[in-house]
Structure formats: C-alpha cells, structure tokens
Amino acid sequence: MERFPEIAQRALRCLERRDLDGFRSCVDENFDTRAGVFDLTPRDRGLVAIARAQGAAAKLCGSGGAVIGVPNDTAQLRVLEADYRNSG
C-alpha cells in the first residue's frame, strides 16, 4: 500500500515533464501493484488486458468495474473503443 503514493508522485512528475511513456508505465505499475495486494475479479483483469493487448496502459479507476486507459495515440484509442464495445 505504501507504493501507491510513490507511484502517483512519479506519475505527476512524468505529466509535468510531458513524459507520456513514463506516465503510462506508472499507470501499469499502479494496476500491477493493486493486483498484488487485492484479489481482483477475472472481469476486472480482463478490462485491463483488453487495453494492454493493444499496447495501451490501463488501471482500475476505483473499486472495480471500470478502467482508465492511456492509449499511445488517437488511432489506438479508436481500436480500444471498438475492442471494449465488442467485448460487451
């Protein structure tokens, strides 16, 4: 649990420097840390897996059931929109 504030601070510094690759890395690290601490449902893991399969970063945005995705560009965003729509 102590890692979450550290990850958030690094993510903020990345945004301030416009380091989007670093920010994406922090988003993924946040999810991976959460997955190591909490028991996640297959559905929640699947939501993150959809984004990661396309090379985007993703994490749960709260108690589960929704994700925050960070695509690399607008084209990837369109693909992710379709992938999520197709997965229901």
Q: What CATH code is carried by the domain that includes residue 72?
A: 3.30.70.890
Question: Confidence class of residue 2 from pLDDT cuts 50, 70 and 90?
Answer: confident
Q: Which domain holds residue 33?
A: 3-87
Query: What is the tens place of the pLDDT at every residue in 44-86?
Result: 999 999 999 999 999 998 776 789 999 999 999 999 999 999 9
pLDDT at 64: 67
Q: Tokens representing 21?
A: 């690759």
How many domains, the chain?
Answer: 1
Q: What is the pTM of this model?
A: 0.89
